[in-house]
Every structure is written in structure tokens, then in C-alpha cells.
Homo-oligomer: A and B are copies of this chain.
Amino acid sequence: MRIVFPLYPGFTSLDVIGPYEVLSRLPEAEAVFAAVRPGPVTGEGGVTVTATHALADLTEADIIVVPGGPGTREAVSDAAYVAWLKAIDATTTWTTSVCGGSLLLGAAGLLTGLEATSHWTAADLLPVFGATFTLQRVVFQGKVVTAAGVSSGIDMALALFARIEGDDAAQTVQLHIEYDPQPPFDHGSPAKATPDQIQRVRKLVMG
């Protein structure tokens, strides 16, 4: 069970590590961090994760998890990255994304005619790739699974784990990572935040 996390400079680390913490606990999981050029890859805020493999050396995967982040804008124009997504998708059982990672799936032509989600600030961009944005936290469309912003990858990965290994096994992982969320506030979606908070995040993300 090979799970590939294709990194690029400026990826958001929780987009990757949330699903990693869940999916790396699949039976016989082989979690692989990869990038166009292997080596250290620096994400949003400066955190650096090692890509042990070059994407070009990976020709098969059971699952891919494509992250978003401020670097998405450049990655979307990286022909090697996008072409790899398109090619690897022909081999996957599950093709997934978190946050703006869905824009990369879109750029690879993998969302045409599908419903999909993304970070809420990217709602307008998904139709560019022939997808319909839906403000859900996790969207299953056949083998393509998209998750909303950043932290939603944990929910996506648990739902995916359950599809693969059953509810009981997924619940056991949930207990293992003690995922019993108790956020101190209830402002985690645009439906729940103030207009001013929405404006501030939009400015931060869109520049």
C-alpha cells in the first residue's frame, strides 16, 4: 500500500501531515514523500520536510495526497509536477487532495465534470478546471477525494481509511491519534466566521 505525498516548495505542512498521521497507519503502508527534485522541501512558514524520492522515479501509487499552500500558484505551472499527477492517477486506487491541492488535480485534468472542494477562498478557481465547487468538508467522487482547507485532511483521511479498512479500524486510528476535537471557538468555516475575519483571511491568502 504505497501512499505518495507529492511535495513542492510552499506546501502547507498540515495538509500533508494530517492525512499522513492517519494513512501511514494503514496495514503495510509505505508512506513516501516525493518532489520533482528530491531532498529538503520547504513549506509555508519555513518548515522543511525531506522528499526521499523524485516524482519521476515513482510510476505507481495506491494513494496520492496532493497538498495545497502558498506554493500552489507556482506548482500549477510546473509541467513536471502536473504531468506526474496525470500519469500517476492512471495507477492509483485513490487520488486525493487537501486545500488548494484540488487546483493541482484540476490542472492535471482530473476534476473535469466532478464536484470538488478546496480551501473556501479558492471556490472561484475550481470551475476554471471544469469542476463544480461544493462547500463540503470532504467530497468523494468515485476514486477522487477532495478535502476543504488545511485541517480537513484529517477528516478526509479517516473517511478514506474507513472505506479501505472498515469503520472499526478507522475508529481505532481516531482513538490512537486522540482525534476528539474540542476547538476553543466555532469560527472554522466562512458560514461561522465574522465578515471581517473572512475579509482578513481572504487578503492573506489571495494577497
Contacts and interface: CB of A to CB of B under 8 A. Distances in A.
For chain A, the bracket of interface size reads 35 or more
A112 interface: no
B183 A158 contact: yes
Contacts of A99: 178
Interface string A179-191: 1111111111110
Q: Chain A binding site: helix, strand, loop or mixed by DSSP?
A: mixed
Contacts of A4: none
Contacts of A171: 185, 187, 193-194, 197
Interface of A: 12-14, 17-18, 20-21, 24-25, 29, 31, 33, 40, 44-50, 52, 99, 119-120, 137-138, 148-152, 154-155, 158-159, 162, 167-168, 170-172, 174-190, 192-194, 197-198, 200-201, 204-205
